[in-house]
Structure 1
Amino acid sequence: MKNTSLKAFLFLICLCLLAFNCEDEITQEDESAELNTLRLDIEALAITSICNEETECKYLPFGSKPCGGPAGYLIYSTSIDTEKIEMLVLNYKQKSDEFNTKWGLMSDCSIVNPPTSIICENNACVAVY
């Protein structure tokens, strides 16, 4: 009886191990699509921000180039949940870094300069370069 129980237990363990090893591999295109969706969600949140006398326009480094540095800058105002957008942008940077490293991506290594200032125009923050 003990031998049968042990065989059944080992059989279940083997099935579990096989199930975990048979998961579909995520492709570069799948990961790129996930990153793009995350980027679009962040940009959609930022674009809902408005500027006026009671809010401040800000920017954050956004994304990650394979050679280092941000891929660009995200412009937003303090009319939205700034802690949330800062957390989302940090998460996106980390995922971008991991993606670039995992897939061995290269870039032109050019430096993306931050805005020299940000102005409020028609209730929207606008970067000035």
Structure 2
Amino acid sequence: MKRLTFSAVFFVVLVVAMACEKQSMIGSPEAESLLLERLHHEIDSLASSYPCDDAAEWRFTAVGEKPCGGPAGYVAYSTGMDTAVFLHKVEIYTQRQRSYNAKWNVVSDCLFLTPPSRVVCQDRKAKLVWDAEAASQ
């Protein structure tokens, strides 16, 4: 009986400890960073789920925000998708990254990322292109 009681107490203590550890992750920079990564992956997956056969049917938009301001990157998207939903998801991601940066005092380089010049199709995938001329302006 004592062995069963000790095992039960040990199990309860273990469960409580794990719950406390999980609870301490909520609201942590690591947990919020994971949520941002998942949302960014969702955006990339959605954008890449469309084959690129005609570059004229593709656009690009800024995504995310660097701590000093300005876009963290760019993503190409097909005009064949529900662009309103896609761009809303990008805006949510950007707002959350802005909040994350402010909340956790994130620092990075303050280099401005120039927008791409155009989108091209390569192996049925959209590729962003930065022309040398546009980059030097």
Structure 2-normalised TM-score? 0.72
SS of structure 2 residue aligned to 1:52: coil
Partner of 1:124: 125
| Alignment map for 1:85-124 (pairs within 5 Å) | 85-124=86-125
Partners in 1 of 2:68 and 2:105 — Cα distance?
A: 11
Give the CA deviation at 1:63: 0.6
Task: Report how far residue 54 of structure 1 moved.
Answer: 9.3
Partner of 1:36: 37
Matches within 5 A, 1:33-112: 33-53=34-54, 56-112=57-113
- Structure 1 segments unaligned to the other structure (5+ residues): 1-22
AA of the residue aligned to 1:115 = P
Q: Deviations over 1:55-86 (max 9, x none)?
A: 61110101110000000001121122211110
Report deviation, 1:108.
0.5
Could you tell me how far apart the structure 1 residues matched to 2:50 and 2:107 are? 33
Could you tell me which amino acid in structure 2 is paired with residue 81 of structure 1? D
Give the % identical residues.
36
Contact 1:55 1:77 in 2 (8 A): no
Partner Cα distance (1:79, 1:55) in 2: 11
Aligned CA-pair RMSD: 1.8
The list of structure 1 runs, each at least 4 consecutive aligned residues, that deviate by more than 4 angstroms after superposition, is: none
The answer (yes or no) to whether the contact 1:62–1:93 under 8 Å persists in 2 is yes
Shift of 1:51: 2.7
Contact 1:57 1:120 (8 Å CA) reproduced: no
**2:109 partner amino acid:** D
| TM-score, L = length of structure 1 | 0.76
Instruction: Give the helix-richer structure, 1 or 2.
Output: 2
Number of equivalenced pairs:
107
